């Protein structure tokens, strides 16, 4: 019975990725204007998730070794982005889709997988704990998934493709839950390493791809709103992690 509740709950959480459907009804000009500011908000979400959620969670198990895995994540995604650029250059292709979109999908897939695994462990412990964990993950995922959707749009995906790919990456949460239910605690020892690795991914995307893009808009009013949006994204994740943590 606990397993059934776990599968139902993680399926509901995966649907949070469809929050981006809101953007499907907007006119292109309106969408472009909104992305200018939601990109800043997304940067704050990634930074807040990295420093208030992922790194502290990994540090509880790995201590200072966490920072090694954060660096491994940064370097790995630097190499991946270099390879994507090199591939397009060698084939003479125009880069209509930016590497950041695919980097975000990889990092988000890992993050969602771990969320699903955590939910599986919670339901194996007790149904009340599972329900509480599910509510916490939903509260955490809605702003995060909205940020991911914005990054995919910025990365060159059209709205429908961004929605589909974001949903597919969210389904890795279901895989994480199933693996925990099947293999129990045999794979859980990998979680702290993957969490540190995902933190490096999010930090790399925010610092090397998104924040530099924000500097392209030089008008004073836009810059002020972007700054407020970035700080707002950090604050949202700070508040949610403190709320969820107790």
Per residue in 10-63, pLDDT (tens digit) is 998 888 788 777 777 777 778 777 878 888 888 888 898 889 888 988 899 899
Res. 208: pLDDT tops 90:
no
Asked if 160 contacts 103 with a C-beta cutoff of 8 angstroms, the reply is no
Which domain, by its residues, includes 203?
2-13+29-245
233 lies in a domain?
yes
The per-residue pLDDT of the chain, averaged, comes to 82
Instruction: Quickly count: other Cβ atoms within 10 Å of residue 123's Cβ.
Output: 28
57 lies in a domain?
yes
Dist CA 243 CA 196 (whole Å) = 22
Sign for the pseudo-dihedral over CA of 85, 195, 208, 13: positive
The pLDDT tens digits for 142-178 are 777 777 888 888 888 888 898 899 899 999 999 989 9
21 lies in a domain?
no
Asked if 229 contacts 44 with a C-beta cutoff of 8 angstroms, the reply is yes
Q: Of 188, 53, 198, nearest to 121 (Cα)? A: 188
Res. 182: pLDDT tops 90:
no
151 lies in a domain?
yes
Q: Of 77, 69, 126, nearest to 106 (Cα)? A: 77
193 lies in a domain?
yes
107 lies in a domain?
yes
- pLDDT of res. 228: 95
22 lies in a domain?
no
The total number of structural domains in the chain stands at 1
């Amino acid at each position: 019975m606990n397993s059934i509740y776990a599968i139902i709950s993680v399926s509901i959480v995966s649907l949070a990725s469809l929050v981006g459907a809101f953007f499907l009804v907007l006119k292109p000009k309106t969408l472009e204007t909104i992305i200018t500011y939601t990109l800043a908000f997304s940067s704050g979400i990634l930074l807040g998730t990295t420093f208030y959620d992922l790194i502290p969670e990994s540090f509880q198990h790995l201590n200072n070794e966490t920072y090694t895995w954060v660096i491994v994540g940064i370097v790995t995604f630097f190499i991946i982005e270099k390879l994507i650029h090199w591939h397009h250059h060698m084939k003479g292709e125009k880069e209509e889709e930016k590497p950041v979109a695919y980097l975000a999908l990889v990092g988000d897939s890992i993050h969602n997988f771990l969320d699903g695994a955590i939910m599986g462990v919670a339901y194996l412990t007790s149904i009340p704990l599972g329900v509480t964990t599910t509510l916490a993950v939903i509260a955490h995922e809605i702003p995060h998934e909205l940020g991911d959707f914005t990054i995919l749009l910025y990365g060159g995906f059209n709205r429908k493709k961004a929605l589909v790919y974001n949903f597919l990456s969210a389904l890795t949460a279901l895989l994480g839950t199933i693996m925990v239910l099947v293999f129990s605690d045999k794979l859980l020892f990998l979680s702290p390493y993957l969490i540190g690795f995902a933190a490096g991914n999010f930090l790399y995307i925010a610092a090397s791809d998104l924040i530099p893009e924000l500097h392209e808009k030089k008008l004073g009013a836009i810059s002020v709103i972007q700054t407020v949006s970035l700080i707002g994204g950090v604050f949202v994740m700070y508040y949610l992690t403190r709320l969820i943590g107790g």
